[in-house]
Amino acid sequence: MASLVGAEDESALEEAQLVSRIAGGDLGEPMQELYRRYAGKLYWFGLHLLGNAGLADELVQECFLRLWRTAGRFDTSRGTVSAYMFVIGRSIATDLHRRPSSRPLLPVDDAQVPPQPDSTDRIVESLLVRDALNSLTPAHREVLMLCHAEGLTQSQIALRLGLPLGTIKTRMYHGLRALKAALAQRGFND
């Protein structure tokens, strides 16, 4: 029994030294060794607490990330590395459980989803808009297309066309009014 306790103390001391090396910036071998020792245990711990394999994987990753970030705060007088890892794991599990994206999605009834226009409706609408745009004067059509198709601001349109900003604003205003009237003539009031 004494040899078992001595082995546990030796292992705890060795793990504390690994954490101390991580705190000192050595992430390679110390992190690999602690991962080898604790990843499986933390995974099962996370699976038990969260009931989801993906979240358990995330818990393991977050535990080692937090270990890396907080290794300098580990104090052997307050407990073992094992206890430290599982306290971190419990904290992460709580965070993951509270996160809205970790909760299963509820089924959505068809009544909750607004009807979507089918592709035929969209094609007809785009043809109506194109026809209405083509009925505008070239000056009005040009500023509207630059604004909506290319996403340019009125100032950018003025620079591109070499026109005063006031002219672009006037053309935009009258162009939109003419487009609205042309669409209404075609029965498109949306």
88 and 36 share a domain? yes
pLDDT digit string (tens) for 92-119?
888 887 877 655 656 656 556 666 666 6
Residue 177 lies in a domain: yes
> What pLDDT is recorded for position 50?
85
3-state secondary structure of 110: helix
98 and 12 share a domain? yes
Q: What range does the domain containing 156 cover?
A: 119-185
> What pLDDT is recorded for position 126?
77
Domain count of the fold of the chain: 2
61 and 30 share a domain? yes
Residue 2 lies in a domain: no
68 and 34 share a domain? yes
pLDDT digit string (tens) for 167-187?
999 999 999 999 898 888 877
> What pLDDT is recorded for position 117?
60
pLDDT digit string (tens) for 39-90?
999 999 888 888 888 889 999 999 999 999 888 888 888 888 888 898 899 9
Pick from 64, 60, 54, 50: which is nearest to 93 by CA? Answer: 50
71 and 97 share a domain? yes
Q: Which CATH number goes with the domain that contains 14?
A: 1.10.1740.10
Q: Pick the more confident residue, 9 or 130.
A: 130
Q: What is the pTM of this model?
A: 0.50
Q: Give the CA distances from residue 145 to residues 124, 141, 157, 178, in Å, rounded to whole numbers and listed in that order.
A: 19, 6, 10, 14
Token readout for 151 is 């996403």
135 and 177 share a domain? yes
For the chain, where are the alpha helices, taking DSSP H only?
2-23, 28-50, 53-70, 81-98, 119-134, 138-148, 154-161, 165-185
Tokens 């690994």 correspond to 18
133 and 85 share a domain? no
Q: Which of 73, 102, 131 is the last residue of a domain?
A: 102
Residue 109 lies in a domain: no
Handedness of CA 90, 92, 98, 101 (dihedral sign): negative
The DSSP symbol for 1 reads -
> What pLDDT is recorded for position 52?
86
Q: Which of 69, 102, 135 is the last residue of a domain?
A: 102
> What pLDDT is recorded for position 190?
57
96 and 126 share a domain? no
